[in-house]
């Protein structure tokens, strides 16, 4: 029950913060994240897209359908993991989040990680990979997603060992269908872990 109370408090704080953000627009919702608070796996995306911003749910558009397919392929259920983004509001025209936006929203992600305490954090795309790897002192291993996708980095924390796995963002498949096989192979590693 403690986790639920902590996450609800954090969600309320996040929503209040979002209402003051330059990214906030009437008729859109902050995308706080959803899933199991006891998840071993946390997926961290970059920022919500259009569909996410009108529903308040992470990964519910085209990239979300691909993500669901990849999770199913790996034998994982969406409700057993926790899915969130670094930036909780949609940048205009789905542009990439700025470093300033990432920095302003990062404390909410940091607290989500602390509360959920996952064993595996999958970073979806370059922005989440960059942030998470720097957060866990892996800057020296940081390269573009095309070089480090699917690699497993183990880090020791006060709460135990966490495995960090950079992955391509599922949206890449909407631009290049051939990337689905690469993503399937990377997601398969989650099953082994």
Residues 6+ apart with CB under 8 A from 188: 73, 74
pLDDT tens digit sequence for 38-78: 999 999 999 999 999 999 999 998 899 999 999 999 999 99
Residue 26 has pLDDT above 80, yes or no: no
Give residue-wise pLDDT tens across range 87-143.
999 998 889 999 999 999 999 999 999 999 999 999 999 999 999 999 999 989 988
State the pLDDT at residue 1: 64
CA–CA gap between residue 23 and residue 136 (Å, rounded): 27
**193 neighbors 163 (Cβ within 8 angstroms):** yes
Q: What is the C-alpha to C-alpha distance for residues 80 and 53, in angstroms, rounded to an integer?
A: 23
* pLDDT tens for each residue of 145-154: 989 999 999 9
CA distance 63 to 41: 18
Q: Counting beta carbons within 10 angstroms of the beta carbon of residue 30, is it exposed (0 to 12), middle (13 to 18) or buried (19 or more)?
A: buried
Q: What share of the chain is helix, strand, coil (3-state, %, to 5)?
A: 50, 15, 35
Residue with tokens 């330059």: 22
* pTM attached to this predicted model: 0.94
């Amino acid at each position: 029950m403690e986790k639920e109370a902590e996450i609800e408090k954090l969600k309320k704080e996040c929503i209040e913060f979002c209402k003051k953000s330059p990214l906030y627009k009437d008729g859109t919702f902050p995308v706080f994240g959803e899933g199991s608070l006891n998840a071993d796996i946390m997926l961290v995306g970059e920022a919500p897209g259009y569909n996410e911003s009108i529903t308040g749910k992470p990964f519910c558009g085209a990239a979300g359908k691909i993500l669901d397919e990849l999770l199913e392929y790996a034998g994982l259920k969406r409700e057993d993991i926790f899915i969130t983004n670094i930036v909780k509001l949609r940048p205009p025209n789905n542009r990439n989040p700025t470093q300033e936006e990432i920095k302003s929203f990062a404390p909410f992600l940091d607290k989500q990680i602390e509360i959920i305490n996952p064993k595996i954090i999958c970073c979806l795309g370059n922005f989440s990979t960059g942030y998470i790897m720097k957060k866990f002192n892996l800057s020296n291993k940081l390269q573009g997603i095309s070089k480090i996708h699917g690699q497993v980095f183990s880090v020791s924390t006060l709460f135990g060992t966490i495995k960090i796995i950079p992955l391509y963002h599922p949206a890449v498949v909407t631009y290049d269908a051939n990337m689905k096989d690469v993503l399937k192979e990377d997601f398969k590693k989650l099953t082994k872990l």
